[in-house]
Amino acid sequence: MGQQEKVATSLAGAVGEEISASLAPVDAELERRYPGDPGTRQPVHTVYVPGDAFAADTVRTWGDRALAALDEHAPDAASFAAVLGLADDLAEPVYSRVRAKLEREPIEDLRVDFEDGYGNRSDAEEDEAAARAARLIAEAYEQGTAAPYMGIRMKCMEAPVRARGIRTLDVFLSGLMEAGGLPDGLVLTLPKVTYPEQVTAMVRLLEAFEKARGLEPGRIGFEIQIETSQSILAADGTAAVARMIQAAEGRATGLHYGTFDYSACLGVSAAYQASDHPAADHAKAVMQVAAAGTGVRVSDGSTNVLPVGPTEKVHDAWRLHFGLTRRALARAYYQGWDMHPGHIPTRYAAVFAFYREGFEQAAARLARYANRTGGDVMDEPATAKALSGYLLRGLDCGALDIGEVARLTGLTRADLEGFSAPRRGDLTASAQ
């Protein structure tokens, strides 16, 4: 037993109390502005379907068309792996899981589009399409055939289409209410946002609807689609996207990058408009930093190179889409937009490969951290948060099974969720 150290202090207890009192407003501001990730499932993609093309069987049809593409152009694990360059040990697990996913849950998030994918129609036609979308989505949730997340992309808040966008949103939400209420998986997308005031206008619109229908205040959230240069850098030099998150008053659920509108806004030639263009990387990096800690998720955009035609062209498009998806995942963009049923196989292949190839290492590191055992990497609570988040995302999309995760980590899903959402003070104190 060593000699007990003498502990000396110089400050009166009142000093710490005064400092804590002075920082109380900051503490409250941190909690309000940066509540952390909501801990809910984030879909790996968003599929958008024009309002006039959306049908009761759209989700199943996309899955069937994706399976048919596999049957025609990559009928087994070896051929699919050869196209995408998958390692031998990943070929069968990825391929079998992709096929099972396409049969079970081909679309994770679907947006019925009333903006660019729909265009300008007569008021009567768009009214009918919005009402029809509400009816079909309500029926899908009631029958258990819905995607986990579904909703609409309305027209934007710019003057020429503002009234039409507001009416379409009203018709759609009212139709859902008449059919029994808003589904838990409801998602709305506000496109082409340029000024934070447009976000505020969306908040006021949703407040009015909630009041009119007797809904709990704050019930309806929405995504902000980033498609203009002004949404990244405002005229005064500030990051407008950060102000947009605050303007949403807690209702913003995501920031979605619009590949082609944003690229065109910057004058990028059509041949070079892609999600890996330097302009895209800059925009998404600003979005990512602005959203960090706020609970708002970031989504990548899409590719317009469709996997159609002869097998050689399909394989080229698959390789491109697979590479862009893997690139996005490495940059922590865990969601993207898919424009064609043929994109879904490579979306899931890229996602499943990403989680399966790093699964064992992540599980081992988290197990060591949880058990306070040694290893060749010294992890902190922030790393444990990232490791558990990685495993949870893999579980949510179907890349991993809870049994194999539990076997390698010794942890339950509740344990993983506890590590992935620590209190702010836990991270700060442990890093000292």
**What proportions of the chain, in percent to the nearest 5, are helix, strand and coil?**
55, 10, 35
- The DSSP-derived string for 259-272 is HHHHHHHTT--GGG
Task: Find out whether 246 and 196 touch, Cβ atoms under 8 Å.
Answer: yes
Which residues does 373 contact at the CB level (< 8 Å), separation at least 6? 367
Structure pTM? 0.92
Q: Mean pLDDT across the stretch 408-422?
A: 89
Task: Find out whether 415 and 370 touch, Cβ atoms under 8 Å.
Answer: yes
Question: pLDDT tens digits, residue range 171-194?
Answer: 999 999 999 999 999 999 999 999
Q: Which of the four pLDDT bands, split at 50, 70 and 90, describes residue 374?
A: low
Helix H or strand E encompassing 147? none
Instruction: Report pLDDT for 127.
Output: 98
Q: Which of the four pLDDT bands, split at 50, 70 and 90, describes residue 372?
A: confident
Tokens of 277: 């263009």
Longest dimension (CA), the chain: 87
Instruction: Report pLDDT for 425.
Output: 46
Checking if the pLDDT of 375 tops 80, the result is no
Determine the Cα–Cα distance for residues 12 and 26; give it in Å rounded to an integer.
23
Which residues does 369 contact at the CB level (< 8 Å), separation at least 6? 379, 383, 384, 387
HSE, side-chain direction, 13 A CA sphere, residue 130: 26
Q: What are phi and psi of 358, to 5 degrees?
A: -105, 5
Task: Find out whether 327 and 280 touch, Cβ atoms under 8 Å.
Answer: no
Q: Which of the four pLDDT bands, split at 50, 70 and 90, describes residue 371?
A: confident
Checking if the pLDDT of 376 tops 60, the result is no
Counting residues of the chain whose pLDDT is more than 70, the rounded percentage is 95
Question: pLDDT tens digits, residue range 401-410?
Answer: 999 999 999 9
Q: Which of the four pLDDT bands, split at 50, 70 and 90, describes residue 160?
A: very high
Task: Find out whether 359 and 90 touch, Cβ atoms under 8 Å.
Answer: no
Determine the Cα–Cα distance for residues 317 and 299; give it in Å rounded to an integer.
21
Of 167, 71, 137, 150, the C-alpha closest to 111 is 150
Instruction: Write down the domain spans for the chain.
Output: 45-357, 359-430
Helix (H, G, I), strand (E, B) or coil at 382: helix
Counting residues of the chain whose pLDDT is more than 90, the rounded percentage is 90
Helix (H, G, I), strand (E, B) or coil at 408: helix
Determine the Cα–Cα distance for residues 255 and 241; give it in Å rounded to an integer.
9
CATH superfamily of 45-357: Phosphoenolpyruvate-binding domains (3.20.20.60)
Q: Taking the chain, what is the end-to-end CA distance rounded to the nearest angstrom?
A: 27
CB count in 10 Å sphere of residue 53:
12
